[in-house]
């Protein structure tokens, strides 16, 4: 392809986003679709396999993304964290419980979950398994 106006298949565009931005396959696909929906990426619908997208628009979006230009990050990239929610949960737990999180009877998990969500809305949705993993990881720093 050259940058004079060729088209990339949805799969090739997603692979390029995955490779250049270092995101998962699903996040790459969502990013391409978000850019199409926002008008940043011209596309044409095809019968199978997702839209074909403009090569030059894709390159422009990727370059802008890499240099944090004026193109907004798609939600899939904005919310993505290298290690998910656990580092943010642990950061909050460190402030709330400097000596480790007490047993559930002393610090009920539903109340703790509500407190965490009030402090950091980006943790929503927060399931009990994620909270438990973060608590276990944080508490493993302390001797029994």
* Residue 5 pLDDT grade (very low, low, confident, very high; cuts 50, 70, 90): low
| Same-domain check for residues 11 and 74 | yes
Chosen domain end from 60, 78, 96: 78
Query: Rounded to whole angstroms, how far apart are CA atoms 74 and 36?
Result: 10
**DSSP element (H, E) containing 71:** none
Give the residue-averaged pLDDT of 57-74: 70
| Same-domain check for residues 14 and 74 | yes
pLDDT on residue 11: 92
Q: Is the pLDDT of residue 57 over 60?
A: yes
| Same-domain check for residues 71 and 91 | no
Give the residue-averaged pLDDT of 116-133: 87
In a domain, 1, yes or no: no
pLDDT on residue 70: 41
Domain range for 44: 7-78
Which carries the bigger pLDDT value, residue 57 or residue 1? 57
| Same-domain check for residues 57 and 113 | no
In a domain, 73, yes or no: yes
pLDDT on residue 138: 86
| Same-domain check for residues 28 and 59 | yes
Domain count, the chain: 2
| Same-domain check for residues 51 and 112 | no
């Amino acid at each position: 392809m050259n940058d004079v106006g060729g088209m990339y298949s949805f799969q090739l565009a997603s692979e390029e986003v995955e490779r250049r931005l270092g995101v998962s396959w699903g996040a790459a696909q969502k990013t391409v679709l978000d850019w199409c929906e926002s008008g940043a990426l011209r596309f044409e619908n095809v019968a199978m396999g997702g839209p074909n997208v403009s090569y030059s628009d894709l390159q422009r979006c990727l370059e802008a993304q890499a240099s944090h230009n004026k193109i907004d990050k798609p939600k899939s990239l904005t919310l993505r964290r290298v290690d998910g929610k656990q580092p943010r949960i642990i950061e909050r737990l460190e402030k709330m419980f400097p000596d480790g999180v007490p047993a559930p009877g002393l610090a009920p998990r539903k109340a703790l979950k509500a407190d965490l969500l009030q402090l950091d809305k980006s943790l929503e949705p927060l399931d009990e398994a994620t909270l438990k993993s973060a608590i276990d990881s944080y508490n493993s720093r302390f001797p029994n």
